[in-house]
Amino acid sequence: MSSESNVPKWSDKYMIGIPDVDFQHQYFLRLIQRLEKRFESGMDSHITLRHFNEILKYADFHFQSEENLMLMYNYPGYQTHHNLHIDLLDEIGTTIYYYQLKKKSTTEVIEMLVKWFLDHTVEEDIKFGDFMKDSNMVIKD
Ligand SMILES: [Fe+2]
């Protein structure tokens, strides 16, 4: 019997108002939910590690995508935001390393990813969404 999830369900309150970014954030949360399930299932650690690496790769892709939009629309907070992304990628990479050494528990891993998702999305990405709204700019393809 599985225990209660520590990963929140997607909610509109996480939306920043930029469809591509919101779509990617939703999928990112889904990957964290999936990793938690892999941890709970006691699945082969090699497979679990692959799921963990999937999160790292998706985060890298997502940050690049988000930053490209920031550059396209001359977002003034770009450099600060870019630095935060570098720190986050570093934190995930380090967490994977410690997880492999069994120096981070699965609970700590999930807590880190959830905290990161919530803090970064709600406190930082929202600033970009607000900038786009305040400037009356709409993302075009
Ligand atoms: Fe971001």
How many structural domains does the chain have? 1
Q: Are 78 and 70 in contact (CB under 8 A)?
A: yes
Which residues are near ligand 1, the ion (C-beta closer than 5 Å)? Answer: 66, 125
Q: Is the pLDDT of residue 80 over 60?
A: yes
Q: Is the pLDDT of residue 68 over 50?
A: yes
CATH number assigned to the domain comprising residue 79: 1.20.120.50
Give pTM, 2 decimals: 0.91
State in Å: Cα 99 to ligand 1 middle.
24
State in Å: Cα 58 to ligand 1 middle.
13
Q: Is residue 140 part of a domain?
A: no
Q: Write the pLDDT tens digit of every residue in 111-125.
A: 999 999 999 998 999
State in Å: Cα 135 to ligand 1 middle.
19
Nearest to 107 by CA among 32, 26, 9: 32
Q: Is residue 41 part of a domain?
A: yes
Q: Is residue 4 part of a domain?
A: no
**3-class SS of residue 119:** helix
Would you place residue 138 in the very low, low, confident or very high pLDDT band (cuts 50, 70, 90)? Answer: confident
Q: Is residue 121 part of a domain?
A: yes
State in Å: Cα 36 to ligand 1 middle.
22
Q: Is residue 5 part of a domain?
A: no
Q: Is residue 12 part of a domain?
A: no
Q: Is residue 7 part of a domain?
A: no
State in Å: Cα 4 to ligand 1 middle.
28
State in Å: Cα 3 to ligand 1 middle.
30
Q: Is residue 58 part of a domain?
A: yes
Q: Cite the DSSP H helix spans in the chain.
A: 19-41, 45-72, 78-100, 106-119, 126-134
State in Å: Cα 21 to ligand 1 middle.
9
Range of the domain at 57: 17-134
Would you place residue 3 in the very low, low, confident or very high pLDDT band (cuts 50, 70, 90)? Answer: low
The residues, any chain, with a CB within 8 Å of residue 127's CB and separated by 6 or more, are 77, 81
Determine the pLDDT at residue 44: 73
